[in-house]
Amino acid sequence: MTVPTLAALSAGLKTRQYSSVELTLAALARVERSQPQLNALVTVTAESALAAAAAADQRIAAGTAGPLTGVPMIHKDIFCTAGVLTTCGSRMLSNFVSPYDAHIVTLLADAGMVMVGKANMDEFAMGSSNETSYFGPVSNPWDTTRVPGGSSGGSAAAVAARLAPLATASDTGGSIRQPAALCGVTGIKPTYGRVSRYGMIAFASSLDQAGVITVSAEDAAMTLQAMAGFDRRDSTSIDAPVPDYVAELQQPLAGLRIGILKEFFGEGLSAAIEGPVREALATWQRLGATVREVSLPSLPLSVPTYYVVAPAEASSNLARFDGVRFGHRCDKPRDLVDLYKRSRAEGFGAEVKRRIMTGTYVLSAGYYDAYYLKAQRVRSLISDDFRRAFTEVDLLLGPTTPTTAFGLGDKTSDPITMYLNDIYTIGANMAGLPAMSLPCGFADGLPVGVQLIGPHFAEGRLLAAAHAYQRETDWHLRAPPAFGADFAGEA
C-alpha cells in the first residue's frame, strides 16, 4: 500500500492525474471522516479551500504553478489566518477571527497551497499530549486510546492519518518533534530565526520556532523551501540566504560525522525506543557516516531550565489576553479588575494558568536572580556544550522521546512526568538549533522516532541525512491501518 507524499502529489497534479479541487475534496472528506475518532482539527475551511484549489488549478493550467501549488495542507491553530478562527487551542481565543495572516500562512498561500483547516493543539502550545486543548484531546491514529503527543498533536495526527500530506507546526520545547515521533511522521524544527514568527501566537518568544510535519524528509525540504527566509516584521528573523534544500537532499553521506548523545541513552530511556534508534544509527553507518559518542554535560539541566525560561516569557506574552480588545470576555464585569480576573480565569485552562503563575513567580522581585537569571546562564552553558560538540561532529543523534505514545489521561495528573517527555527535545530549543524527528521503527505497534540535531543553519545537512535514511527504509511510508487508505486514490 502506498501513501502519496507531497512530492508524489505535486507530480500527480503536474501530470494532471487529478486536479487540486479533486485532491482538496478528498482531503476534506478524510478530515470529516476522521474527526470523530481523531479530533485533529479545530476548524475546517471547506469553502475557502475549494476556492483556493480552483485558483491553483488555473495556475497549473497556465503553467505558472510551483511545486506546492494545489496541494492540500493544514495549519496548526497557532498561526493567524485572516478571516478564519484562530484559537490557539484555548477558550480564550475560541471566538477570535484573526484580521491578518501569519507570515508563513502568506508564503504557503502564495506558493499555491490549499489550507483545508486548522489543527488542534495543546492550549497555547503548552503540553506534550494535546490534552490541554479547550477543543478536546486529539487521538493517536496508531491507537486512538493513546495521545498523539503535543503540542502539535493535531498536526502530527493529521499527517499520520494522511488527512493532508503536511501540516505546519511549532516547536518551543519539542512540540514538532515529539508528536512527530509518537505519530510516526517526519518533523523539522528549523534554526531559531530561520522561519518568521510573525503571526504565530507567542508562547515563549526566545524558544518558539515554526516548522512543518510531513511524511518524508523530501517533503519537509520542499515545504521549508517556501517557509524559510527573512521577514522584516520579525526582529529575531535572520537575514541569511535560504539554500536550495531540495538540491541539498542529494548531498553524499560519506564522511558525515554523527555524534551519539551520551546523555540521551541513560536511565529513563525505554528499551523499546533504544533498539530502533540504534538500528537507525547502524543504517547511517552503512551509508558511510562515522559515529562517535559525544557528551553534553549540561544537557540534563535543560528541562528545569526550560521550565523557568518558557513560563517566564509566557507569563508576559499572555498578558495581552485581558478580555478588553479580543478573545473571551467574562459576562457582566463589575469593574476593571473583575473583568481581568474573570476573563482570564475562565479563558485559560489549568496548564496555562500553572505556567503563568510559575513564570510570574520566577520574574518577581527577589526571585529573578535565583531563577530567571540563573536559567539564562545555564542556557548559555547548554549552548556552549552544543557548540563544542559541533567542532567534533556534523550531527548529533538520539531518541526523540523516552517512550512511545502513552495512554490518554495517563499523565494528566502529574505535570512533572508530563514535562519529562520533552527531556530529549528541549536542548535544541535552548540553543536555537535545527532538529528533526523521523520514524525509525515500531515498538508494540507504536511508532518510534529518531532525532537529529544540527548546528545553526544546517537544515540542509539534517534533511539530506534524513532523506538518505528514508531511501533505505520505509518506516516513514507506513500509515496507521485505520486511516491508511490511499490518499490520492480517493480523489
- Name the residue nearer to other proteins (CB basis): 20 or 315: 315
- Name the residue nearer to other proteins (CB basis): 74 or 200: 200
Q: In what order do the strands lie in the sheet with 435-443?
A: 41-44, 114-119, 72-76, 166-171, 209-214, 186-189, 435-443, 446-453, 395-399, 257-261, 290-294
Least Cα distance to 352 among 329, 319, 323 occurs for 319
Which residues are marked as active site?
76, 151, 175
* 373: DSSP letter: I
3-state secondary structure (DSSP) of residue 451: strand
- Per DSSP, the residues of 307-367 read HHHHHHHHHHHGGG-SSSSSS---SS-SSHHHHHHHHHHHHS-HHHHHHHHHHHHHHSTTT
Query: Cβ of residue 324: shortest distance to other proteins, in angstroms?
Result: 6
- Name the residue nearer to other proteins (CB basis): 262 or 374: 374
Contact residues toward other proteins (CB under 8 A) are: 79-80, 86, 88, 93, 96, 98-100, 102, 197-202, 204-206, 232-236, 312-313, 315-316, 318-322, 324-327, 336, 340, 360, 363-365, 368, 372
Q: Is 178 exposed, middle or buried (0-12, 13-18, 19+ CB in 10 A)?
A: buried
Query: Cβ of residue 271: shortest distance to other proteins, in angstroms?
Result: 39
3-state secondary structure (DSSP) of residue 140: strand
- Name the residue nearer to other proteins (CB basis): 55 or 363: 363
Query: Cβ of residue 320: shortest distance to other proteins, in angstroms?
Result: 4
57 in Cβ contact with 70 (< 8 Å): yes
- Name the residue nearer to other proteins (CB basis): 281 or 362: 362
Residue with cell 503563568: 356
Residues 6+ apart with CB under 8 A from 366: none
Query: Cβ of residue 198: shortest distance to other proteins, in angstroms?
Result: 6
